[in-house]
Amino acid sequence: MAIHPSAVIEPGARIHASAEIGPFCVVGPKVSIGPGTKLIQGVTVAGRTTLGARNVIHPFCVIGGDPQDLKFKGEDSTTSIGDENVIREGVTINKGTMTGGGQTVVGNRNMIMALAHVAHDCLIEDHCILANACLLAGHVRVESFAILSGWVVVHHFVTVGQSAFIGGATRVNQDAPPYMTMQGMSGEVRGLNSIGLKRRGVKPEAINCLKEAYRIIWRSALPKPEALAEVEKLGGQFPEVRNLIEFLRASDQGHMGRRREHRRPAPPPSAPPPEPEDDIE
């Protein structure tokens, strides 16, 4: 086990023999670090946090810190980071809150670039890219292969669909549909992420059908339910098209275009109504 003598490892931390802990790192007592994971230098890992195998955590990241949430009362919630993630300089990943499910999860092989912030109770699946200074508010879900460009802000409870591409400095206030590109302060769907789909090896026929689906859903005057029915008729045989339709229907059944809003904890009956957002990240 390569632990630099200046690193502070609290008693109770479990560190695999092949992990590397660089100078001036601080590792808390409830932390578990898997094989081959590297903390380069000055990294803080706090809370009940698990880092899997072969992750590389760059300087000044803080993983598993307390949530920036007024409802948090010091509960022993968790942060779980999978395998082979690259987490660049100064990234903060907060632990969960009990009212929000109690865990923040990052899957495998994600690239989280410098200064990005992943708030409490977020779920990032696999192979995602969060570019520099990307800002996820609480309870956000990012599905596999999504790419969030620099300076993107994502509202609480938003779901970013798989293989979605979010352009630079976009404000994502509603669910970002899978396979599509989104851009701008009002988070408009701008087209199909055809490059991403080709990279995933999606069949050309399915890509063409998704392109037509984009035109019908976002560029025709058809009301949403009818547009979705039309798209279903057109390409229901492709799993990607079915996934897109299911995603959009679920978002419409949510609140404010966000399917995960139902996870927002209800206030106790006696309490005065809370402000709509107590956590603006």
Partner 1 sequence: MKAHATALVDPAATVASDVEIGPFCIIGAGVRIGPGCSLGPRVSVRGPAVLGRDNRLHANVSIESSVTIGDANVLRESAHVSAGATVGSRNRFGTWVDLGAGVVVGDDAVLGSFVVVADRCVVGSRAKLEGQTVLEPGMTVGAGARIRSQVPVAGDVPESALLDGNPAEIQAGGAA
Enumerate the active-site residues.
120-121, 138
Q: Which is nearer to partner 1, 61 or 146 (CB)?
A: 61
Q: What is the closest distance, in whole angstroms, from the C-beta atom of residue 146 to partner 1 in the complex?
A: 19
Q: What is the closest distance, in whole angstroms, from the C-beta atom of residue 44 to partner 1 in the complex?
A: 5
Q: What is the closest distance, in whole angstroms, from the C-beta atom of residue 92 to partner 1 in the complex?
A: 5
Q: Which is nearer to partner 1, 65 or 82 (CB)?
A: 65
> Which residues in this chain contact partner 1 in the complex, by CB under 8 A?
6, 8, 24, 26, 42, 44, 60, 62, 65-66, 68, 90, 92, 115, 117, 133, 135, 137, 151, 153, 169, 171, 185, 280-281
Q: Which is nearer to partner 1, 68 or 208 (CB)?
A: 68
Q: Which is nearer to partner 1, 154 or 209 (CB)?
A: 154
Cα separation values, 166 from 88, 90, 147, 178, Å: 20, 22, 6, 11
Contact 179, 192 (CB under 8 A): yes
**Nearest 10 degrees: CA dihedral of 118, 122, 126, 127?**
-30
Q: Which is nearer to partner 1, 144 or 170 (CB)?
A: 170
Q: What is the closest distance, in whole angstroms, from the C-beta atom of residue 65 to partner 1 in the complex?
A: 6
Q: What is the closest distance, in whole angstroms, from the C-beta atom of residue 135 to partner 1 in the complex?
A: 5
Query: Residue with structure tokens 């092989």?
Result: 109
* Cα-trace Rg, the chain: 20
Q: What is the closest distance, in whole angstroms, from the C-beta atom of residue 22 to partner 1 in the complex?
A: 13
Q: Which is nearer to partner 1, 44 or 80 (CB)?
A: 44
